[in-house]
């Protein structure tokens, strides 16, 4: 397993639409292993492949709390096949937008169809944190970040600050 670099916004590679995966094979499982390790290390609870610069429809997730046994989940080519009519607000964060948290409104529950780690077709009814997280990660596959759900003003403020921090970091390394 290898730790990968997580892309930080603003980065054009985060806006790329991810392609469906043709086959769940050892190469893809190796990518998922790297993603899980990278996400745990960050630490985070969800990561889309595009966040490490691989524009494939692959998501890893682990919602286990600190001190609990890990509960890795893998979603390949996920699609939402049902969503609830009621919405929930939840404060979201993202490994590609470090240190920013904002409320986002999304359907409270969704049903997702996807391929798992072994390439088997599965369906999952997602509620609460799982529903928030899968919708957030599936947005990444469309090149959408959680700040894209906010007002333009808020989004620009956050992206400007991140951009400034990146330039500062680059200058310090130079």
Name the residue with the smallest CB distance to Ni ion: 94
Residue of 68, 103, 128, 137 marked active site: 137
User: E strands within the chain?
Assistant: 46-48, 58-62, 72-83, 87-92, 102-107, 110-115, 121-126
Contact window for Ni ion (CB under 5 A) among 12-20, 29-37, 91-99, 111-119: 91-99
Q: By C-alpha distance, which of 17, 27, 128, 35 is closest to 75?
A: 35
- C-alpha distances in angstroms, 36 versus 1, 6, 82, 151? 9, 12, 27, 31
Nearer residue to Ni ion within complex by CB, 89 or 120:
89
Smaller CB separation from Ni ion, 61 or 94: 94
Both tokens assigned to 85: 């009519």
CB of 120 to Ni ion, least distance (A): 26
Among 31, 58, 94, 158, binds Ni ion (CB under 5 A): 94
For residue 74, give every residue at least 6 positions away whose Cβ sits within 8 Å of its Cβ, in sequence order, or none: 32, 36, 58, 59, 60, 61, 116, 117
To Ni ion, the closest distance from the beta carbon of 36 in angstroms equals 15
In whole angstroms, give the CA distance from residue 158 to residue 5: 21
Residue 137 known to be catalytic: yes
Quote the least distance from Cβ 151 to Ni ion, whole Å.
Answer: 19
Q: Are 121 and 108 in contact (CB under 8 A)?
A: no
Should residue 14 be labelled a site residue for Ni ion when binding is judged by CB under 5 A?
no
| Interface mask toward Ni ion for 36-75; x: CB under 5 A | ----------------------------------------
- 77 or 92, CB closer to Ni ion? 92
Binding site for Ni ion (CB under 5 A): 94
Active site residues: 137
């Amino acid at each position: 397993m290898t730790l990968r670099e997580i892309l930080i916004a603003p980065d054009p590679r985060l806006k790329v639409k991810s392609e469906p995966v043709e086959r769940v094979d050892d190469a893809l499982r190796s990518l998922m292993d790297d993603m899980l390790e990278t996400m745990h290390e960050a630490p985070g609870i969800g990561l889309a492949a595009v966040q490490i610069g691989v524009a494939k429809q692959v998501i890893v997730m682990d919602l286990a709390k600190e001190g609990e046994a890990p509960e890795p989940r893998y979603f390949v080519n996920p699609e939402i096949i049902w969503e609830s009519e009621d919405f929930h607000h939840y404060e979201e964060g993202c490994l590609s937008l470090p240190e920013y948290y904002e409320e986002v409104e999304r359907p409270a529950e969704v049903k997702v169809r996807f391929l798992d780690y072994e390439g088997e077709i599965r369906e999952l009814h997602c509620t609460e944190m799982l529903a928030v997280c899968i919708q957030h990660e599936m947005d990444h596959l469309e090149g959408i970040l959680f700040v894209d759900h906010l007002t333009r003003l808020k989004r620009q403020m956050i992206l400007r600050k991140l951009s400034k921090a990146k330039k500062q970091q680059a200058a310090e390394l130079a």
